[in-house]
Structure 1
Amino acid sequence: MSARARALAVCTALVLALLVTAALAPLPYSVAYPGMTANVLGTDKGKPVITVTGAPARRTSGQLRMTSIVATGPDASVHLPDIIQGWLRTDEAVMPKEAVYPVGNNTEEIAEHNAAQMRESQDTATDAALGHLGKSPKDVKVTLSLADVGGPSAGLMFALGIVDKLNGDGTGHDLTGGRTIAGTGTITASGTVGAVGGVALKTQAAHRDGATVFLVPRKECADAHAELPPGMRLIPVSTLDGAVTALKALRTGGAVPSC
């Protein structure tokens, strides 16, 4: 074998070794998938998601579904083939691990953090909804119960559910108009809706569970369009007031904002 052939063989072996190492080495990414959805106007594990005391609660029709994603855990090993598959599939997304798990180094810490965020989200959703309706937390108490879900991204849907339970659209009709409406978004006590991430996967979860309308934080319209299921209508929202107005217009055939 000539010196040139030997050098080529060595280089080829090195390249192959690097490729094998890259394929087998764990990488700092998570693979996410469409997660569960839940109707905040309904029940969860036999208990109402929204319970109101101090004011009469309406009987509602239709559904307001919060949405979620699931991702490989913080301790899971994600390799190059997993990432390539995630890039090629429309029902998967490859995300930096720190974007999925910004706090905590293990499952227990992350679960505790997500549970705390969910509790805070429920409190701010209640404040936003009661503020929208001009009601005082001293007079109306709202209890929210949704098991096995963490994070702040259900805030908007919780707030809309409370508004629908207490007031509907203000004219005796439901905010949903009898539809199955899904959505996502954080919310502040003053009613500002914030971005959450993973909306392309959440629209797929919503479509899977029967929704035809999806409320999306306005800043994430482009992301929501990326893998939008057929027949799914996007409505961008920036505030709780705006979301309520849009749903009223949707029911009555008025002008509804679009992405």
Structure 2
Amino acid sequence: MLSRLSRPKAVAVCAAPVVALLASAVVAPLPFAVAQPGMTADVLGENKGKPVITITGAPTRDTSGQLRMTTIAATGPDVDVRLGNVLDGWFRTDQAVMPRDAVYPSGESTKEIEQHNAEEMRKSQDAATEAALSYLGEDPDDVKVKLELADVGGPSAGLLFSLGIIDKLDGDGAGGDLTGGRTIAGTGTIDAEGTVGAVGGVALKTQAAKRDGATVFLVPQAECADAKAELPEGMRLIPVTTLKATVESLRALEKGGSVPSC
């Protein structure tokens, strides 16, 4: 009898810290960031009134179509993300909950993070320029490329920068546009040798691309599964691994040839 009477008391006593922990979890900041589809920009055009790509030292060509680099917009490094935000993000297809360290370098201030992202963008632009000029056989001492994209940091626009440079200088190599007149979006880092790297957030970037009129999305091959998870209707995925293979895929797409798919 006493054991039966004492058990509810024990349960009540044990439940008290659990309730306290749950209450704390609701209000305590968590080590996550909540991301959603961000802005896109046509690297063949202008961004905030300035050309994204400016080339001197070689003749350039007029282009049609668009090459849109894509971004995600995440809660800032100094924003507290709480349990309610996390639960809401998990149940929405237009948001993603990501470890904070996957979005921002760990242990750095907001200013340091902004500087880090700006430096990553600069390195990406340098590598994109080198990869594109090397692909075309142009001498970087003769051809100068200026890339300018306001309010965007990180390395994920590298592939699109390279493609934009190639389209402005050489198109598809046969007098046509690399885009074939389409609106093509994509993402991916690139190194000076033209190797494309994964970036993260691709499911959100495909949504941004669809919103801004793209029908084709270039995705690093390693992230095909992530891109297919929430793929907008009517969006065609083309997996890419190198700059050369990407250009070949776009030429095949323009001519109605065989194009890789995820």
TM-based fold match above 0.5: yes
Report Cα offsets for 1:82-141 as digits up to 9, x if no partner.
Answer: 111111111111111111112552211011010011111111100000011010101111
Task: State the TM-score, normalized to the length of structure 1.
Answer: 0.97
Matched, 1:247 2:258: no
Share of identical aligned residues, percent?
Answer: 71
Distance 1:86 1:12 in 2: 28
Letter paired with 1:239: T
The residue number in structure 2 matching 1:111 is 114
The residue number in structure 1 matching 2:211 is 208
Shift in Å at residue 54 of structure 1?
0.8
The residue number in structure 2 matching 1:141 is 144
The residue number in structure 2 matching 1:28 is 31
The residue number in structure 2 matching 1:162 is 165
Shift in Å at residue 15 of structure 1?
2.5
Shift in Å at residue 22 of structure 1?
1.5
Distance 1:72 1:47 in 2: 27
When structure 1 is superposed on structure 2, of 157-166 and 46-55 the one drifting more is: 46-55
Corresponding residue to 1:44 among 44, 47, 53: 47
Contact persistence 1:103–1:113 (CA under 8 A)? no
Task: State the TM-score, normalized to the length of structure 2.
Answer: 0.96
Query: Which consecutive residues of structure 1, in runs of 5 or more, have no partner in the other structure?
Result: none
Distance 2:54 2:19 in 1: 61
Calculate the aligned-residue CA RMSD, in Å: 1.3
Distance 1:243 1:252 in 2: 14
Distance 1:103 1:136 in 2: 39
When structure 1 is superposed on structure 2, of 98-107 and 80-89 the one drifting more is: 98-107
When structure 1 is superposed on structure 2, of 124-133 and 75-84 the one drifting more is: 75-84
Letter paired with 2:205: K
Distance 2:106 2:8 in 1: 52
Give the SS at the match of 1:30. strand
Contact persistence 1:103–1:110 (CA under 8 A)? no
Give the SS at the match of 1:18. helix
Letter paired with 2:208: A
* Count of residue pairs the alignment pairs up: 259
Distance 1:220 1:42 in 2: 27
Contact persistence 1:40–1:63 (CA under 8 A)? yes
Query: Which consecutive residues of structure 2, in runs of 5 or more, have no partner in the other structure?
Result: none
Matched, 1:93 2:96: yes
Give the SS at the match of 1:32. strand
Shift in Å at residue 47 of structure 1?
1.2
- After TM superposition, the runs of 4+ consecutive aligned structure 1 residues lying more than 4 A away are none
Change (3 A) 1:227 1:20: same
Matched, 1:4 2:7: yes
